[in-house]
Amino acid sequence: MAEARKSMIKFKPKKFKVDDIIKIDFIVIHPMETGMKKDKKTGEMKPAHFIDSITFSLDGKPFTTMKVWETVSTNPYFSVNLKVPGKGKITVDYTDNMGEKNTKSKKLKPKG
């Protein structure tokens, strides 16, 4: 198991009510190597290393799935909308092409 990568989930706006439509931003610190770059020290090609699938779920029920290729930037950022149905937990699972798996979650707390 590889070390956990730094990632974060943000809700925009920060304060929201039930039935509001919010943005969910997900950012992960990941090199996203294309496999076309040379390592300056060794002179060998760096192997491709990128996130290839992401799943956003609410209380364990996936609502958005993504397939991603190496053409997405380093430290990728993804943003989708969600209509807040009530209290819950947003979980984002992601895997990369080297089999690394990670999970990040944040509680959804609507006010009012």
Partner 1 sequence: MKRRNFIKGFCAASAVAVTMTPSVLLAKDAPKSANQLTLDMAIKAITGGKDVAQSDKVSLTVPEIAENGAVVPVKVHVESPMTDADHVKAIHVLASKNSNSRCADVMLTPLNAKGYFATRVKLGGTQDIVALVEMSDGTFLKASKPVKVTIGGCG
Q: Interface residues with partner 1 (CB under 8 A)?
A: 21, 23, 32, 34-38, 45, 48, 58, 63-74, 76-83, 85
Residues 73, 76: Cα–Cα separation, whole Å: 5
- Distance of closest approach, residue 54 Cβ to partner 1, in angstroms: 9
Residues 13, 46: Cα–Cα separation, whole Å: 39
CB-wise, 3 or 43, nearer to partner 1?
43
- Distance of closest approach, residue 79 Cβ to partner 1, in angstroms: 4
Distances (CA, A) of 22 to 7, 13, 29, 93: 19, 7, 23, 20
- Distance of closest approach, residue 3 Cβ to partner 1, in angstroms: 24
User: Residues for the chain: how many in total?
Assistant: 112
CB-wise, 3 or 58, nearer to partner 1?
58
DSSP 52: E
